Amino acid sequence: MSSSCHESGQPAAPLTQLPQVALVGAPNAGKTSVFNALTGLNAKTGNYPGVTVSRFAGTCRVGDRKLAVEDLPGSYGLDPVSLDEQVLVDVLDGNGMRAPDVLLIVVDATTLRRSLGFVAQVLARGLPSCVVLTFTDELLRRQGAVDVDALSQALGVPVVAVVGHRGHGIAQLREQLLDWRDWPTPVIPPPVDPGERDAWVESVLSYAGYRAAQPHGRTRRLDAVLLHPILGTVVFFAVMVLFFQTVFTLAAPLQEGVEAFFGVLSGWVSVHVTNPWLSGLLGDALIGGVGGVLVFLPQIMLLFLLISLLEGVGYMSRAAFLMDRVMGRVGLEGRAFVALLSSFACAIPGIMATRTLPSARDRIATMMAAPLMTCAARLPVYVVLIGLLVDPAATFGPFGLQGLVMFGLYLLGAVAAMLAAWTFKKFGDRRGQPTPFYLEMPPYRLPSPRAVLLAVWGAASSFLRKCSTIIVATTMVLWLLLNLPLHSTEQMQAAGVDTADSAAVSAYVVDHSYAAEAGRLVAPVFDPLGFDWRINVGVLSAQSARETFVATLGQVAAAEDPEDPGDALRAMTYSDGPRAGQPIFTAPTIAALLVYFAFALQCMATVGVIRRETGTWRWPLVAFGYLTVAAWLMAYLARTVTSFFVG
């Protein structure tokens, strides 16, 4: 072990040489609160080798020493049924990575009876351990009781009561961690035999004077309504409506703020940067591209805020329970609903949430469906295209028509996802064993603001990272492709371009650029959908990340008429081919484009996550293939139907 490399007062010691403290416990036991309280905000997230089970590690300073602290995946037992639980067992075994030196077993005092089985399994491993008892305040409030000292005597290891979100007991825990080398261990490891283990649990509980908490009054009363077959469903739909209303209405003023900021910025650039190349690069590519996408930051943060609030309050598992029957229609279970709901924010957390599904078949079916849910990255595209398609003043009954079209697209995504899940479940791998549906209904709790903020911050920072890397790179490359090769003034004059008219010059440059060549190259594929080469460039660039489409269209339009990209799009006409001169953005084309974006898997990050979660290239390729084909077919259908109605 690490005794030789541990030296107190050596803050410079690399993380791997510090004693490793690992937090283990059931999901919802308050592990993360304890972890946050011990490590503060210096936690690092990463992945375990080979799988996308998030790994949270940080350092904790006790006295003059430092300890490396790791938050292991939540689990109810050490007989792995899911990937997370397998990771937990691998870490404890030191399988492929260094085993921890010290364990903190986090146990929810209100579920002590059930949790002791897990404690027994962990203690049987013989590592120095300390039980961290959480939610003792709630136990007391619900007329329960437990004697912490007696529990410690009975278990044979130290027990510290902690109220994680308030920080109570954290000081004692740190003190306890100071001399982990002297912790008592059980004289005899707890029994392995299930009968003997039950007897052990019973005896320990009775010695510790454990009195189970009364059923949570508030939870019981709320559940009577929220899990009611009719009332509960009504409330569920109300929550969903409110959810999307909040995301769209509350975000609007914030988005205008971001827009205004970038407007000012680009104005400043066009005034102060005189070099046309540099000003084009900065104004069109950087500010136009990144700004166009950053506008959606408020919406994405709101989406994640609401999802983590619903999760923290405890409503998410109720929603999963209510949705179990609906999901059952397509052969999935309630938890798949949570994964799909998260996919409204982004398919990546949705696909990662499939880990909670015990059946591999369900996991695959859900992963194949998740990219169809309308993720936040589609929003920018939808907003721009719907703006072109529908007059903002048009109404249908009390609702704005634009909003209704948006709702329709969300519905389309959800229905398509359900159908996809059903298909993959039915015709997918048939060897999987059916697994029982069990779902923990945690009591309703006020979510810890810190955990919620951390979730929102994580989403925002990963979105910002995406903007500053993938999207900046794509827009820059695209800008270059749209502006190269260079044309001399003589060349342009020879082609009959009025070189004094800057708009005509940019139109000529773009029309003869490398990007245009690429767009024309794929034209045969997209011609039936009504896309011209400029849309093709947008669709191709959106293949890495959907939001790029908006930035690309902005660039193309701005290049043709830098004064007003919005109207420019509407006025854009086919520059060549049989339809030359006709407007591009007609209702059938926009409809086809919207539907194409609803289906296509234009997100390399999603492909990467499916690869990591399934461990093979097979499933990401299947997803990519079937979604692209479906996108084309459905877009063609949409175009045909819309043409029929519009005439």
Tokens linked to 47: 């992945």
| Candidate segments 146-154, 426-434, 450-458, 495-503, binder of another protein by CB under 8 A | 146-154
Task: Give the nearest distance from C-beta 630 to another protein in angstroms.
Answer: 58
Does 137 bind another protein (CB under 8 A)? Our answer is: no
Count of residues touching another protein (by CB under 8 A): 25
Residue 184 touching another protein (CB under 8 A) = yes
Q: Is 429 in the site for another protein (CB under 8 A)?
A: no
> What phi, psi does 214 have (nearest 5°)?
-65, 150
For another protein, the binding residue among 64, 175, 179, 196 (CB under 8 A) is 196
What SS3 class is residue 573? strand
Binding positions for another protein, 202-231, rule CB under 8 A = 202-204, 206-207, 209
No. of helices (H) and no. of strands (E), the chain: 31, 9
**Among 57-65, 144-152, 268-276, 323-331, the segment contacting another protein (CB under 8 A):** 144-152
Q: Which stretch binds another protein (CB under 8 A): 91-99, 131-139, 188-196, 625-633?
A: 188-196
Q: How far is the CB of 202 from another protein (least distance, A)?
A: 4
Nearest residue (CB) to another protein, 196 versus 498: 196
| Near another protein by CB under 8 A: residue from 77, 191, 400, 562 | 191
| Residues 81 and 88: beta-carbon distance below 8 Å | no
- 436 part of the interface to another protein, by CB under 8 A: no
149 or 490, CB closer to another protein? 149
What are the DSSP E strand ranges found in 85-149?
Answer: 102-108, 129-134
DSSP-derived letter for residue 354 is G
Cα(94)–Cα(346) distance, integer angstroms = 33
Among residues 200 and 596, whose Cβ is nearest to another protein?
A: 200
Largest CA distance in the chain: 97
Q: Tokens 């996809």 belong to which residue?
A: 420
Residue 114 is a binding residue for another protein (CB under 8 A): no
Q: Which stretch binds another protein (CB under 8 A): 200-208, 257-265, 387-395, 402-410?
A: 200-208
Minimum Å gap between C-beta 101 and another protein is 20
For residue 367, count other CB atoms closer than 10 A to its CB: 29
Closest CA to 637 of 607, 595, 581: 595
Cβ-in-10-Å burial (0-12, 13-18, 19+) of 195 comes to exposed
Of 151 and 421, the one with the shorter C-beta distance to another protein is: 151
Contact call for residue 447 and another protein (CB under 8 A): no
**Tokens 């009975």 correspond to what residue?**
154
**Closest by Cα among 346, 292, 301 to 605:** 346
How many other C-beta atoms are found inside a 10 Å radius of the C-beta of residue 501?
Answer: 11
Q: Which of 5, 81, 140, 199 binds another protein (CB under 8 A)?
A: 199
Among residues 46 and 194, whose Cβ is nearest to another protein? 194
Q: Which of 10, 17, 54, 153 binds another protein (CB under 8 A)?
A: 153
Q: Is 93 in the site for another protein (CB under 8 A)?
A: no
- Measure the CA–CA gap between 449 and 453, rounded to whole angstroms: 6
Distance in angstroms (rounded) separating the CA atoms of residues 464 and 471: 10
Nearest distance in Å: CB 143, another protein: 14
Question: What angle do helix axes 514-521 and 472-483 make, rounded to 10 degrees?
Answer: 100
| Residues in touch with another protein (CB under 8 A) | 147-150, 153-154, 156, 184, 186-191, 195-196, 198-200, 202-204, 206-207, 209
